[in-house]
Structure 1
Amino acid sequence: MADDLIKSGALASRTGVSIRTLHHYDKIGLLTPHRSPSGHRLYDRRQVVRLQQIVSLRQIGLSLDEIRKALNRSEHNARRIIELHIARLKQRIEVQQDLCRRLEVIAARPELASIEEIIKTIEVMTMFEKYYTKEQLETLRKRAAELGEDHIHEVAAEWPKLIAEVRGELQRGTDPKDPRMQALAKRWNELVHEFTGGDPGITESLNNFYRGEPQFAAQQSLDGQIFDYVRKALRES
């Protein structure tokens, strides 16, 4: 039996799930490993399968509380969770493949592309524009020119790290008033301001965009719980 058990360090190294995250899952009762006589966490095949389920459900946007409830329901077996993850991935792939097909058609014979084909291609490419007025888009273009490409890339690179830190505090149950979360919420607000320039109309359009395009939000590991958590922290500031 011992040969089939994996220590938390080895599991973290092989899966990319940090030791800190594994310990947190253990602490909240989401993934409870065996214990060696010396107190080390040890994972068997059943627990590794459960970890895969947790990772899959996280990637389709569920919170840890939602994952716990899902895993406790009999209909959410291993096969069903994998099917849910596959379905979400296929949705994302289909959008990209559709755009590729449309662009390939136009690129091959641009002079023969019908108006309808071109319109459909623009529709796929301009999902963003469904949520912003022409005036707002023009304001955003001007702001992008003012900020410069290098700065925009720096901000874009910072977002994934910030989102991961906020999610970590949420998972640990950190009070929104806590100084750590207050600092993260302040930086979140600053990065949003970098995009909106403080324009309330653009801010509202941005919120509508994320509400209306959950697939896009999920790709960035964003969900309603994250947004609510940040809002609570900002209200406490």
Structure 2
Amino acid sequence: MPGKGYSVHELAKLAGVSVRTLHHYDELGLVRARRAANGYRRYEAAEVDRLHQVLLFRQTGMPLADIRRMMEDPAFDQRAALRRHLGALRAQRSQIDDMIANVEKTLACLEGGPKMADEEKFRAFKRDLIAKNEAAYGAEVRERWGDAAADASNARVMGMSEERWSEVRQTEARVKELLLEALPTGDPTCAAAQEAARLHGRWLQAFWAEGAYSKAAHAALAEGYVADERFRAYYEAWAPGAAEFLRDAIAAYCAK
């Protein structure tokens, strides 16, 4: 690193990001540049280290607002956060290895090799779900509920029989079907909306650790479907207004 630090163009080239990205991070207060005497942005060791951390957390899919909130928290533990990130990366690597093995075995079977057991056929898909969830939500889940709860949830998924796995997927599909049926009514307390909320709770229990579900926890999570842009985007892809409607339906169901 030059003794006087990096210019915005030098750091953008080094980090593999655009100058516009660095300007955006500066405006957000994520990575603030220092100002040289001539008014140009300069980045010294502290800013380079902070950019490195931001990019690491962006790899997990964490929104910039959450990264800033986490890093500015006086209780922020960089080592613990990086350990969680490492766990998510390892889960992704394991998922890719499983998918490669799955394709290889399928090809071998088609070419006259040994048949795959049904459990083998679907193991990689379950690992794929775990890896995607770890990438999108793992850091937050582990920070809020701890590694033990996250690991127990992952173990429940991997331990599902194919019959149970199919049942869980069908439950999720039914939640969507009922929600889309109820949404035009505008009434989150209608029968279809309440059945969607009930089934949503059953769906959650398939993934949460034994005994972790409660109506209070269910309602609290549903609030996140509106507040968290990742959840909101998922449900809004079903239909405009779906996130708020599901939140309201779950709130009414959990208040009973």
Tell me the TM-score normalized by structure 2.
0.47
Relative contact order, higher structure (CA 8 A, sep 6+): 1
Tell me the TM-score normalized by structure 1.
0.50
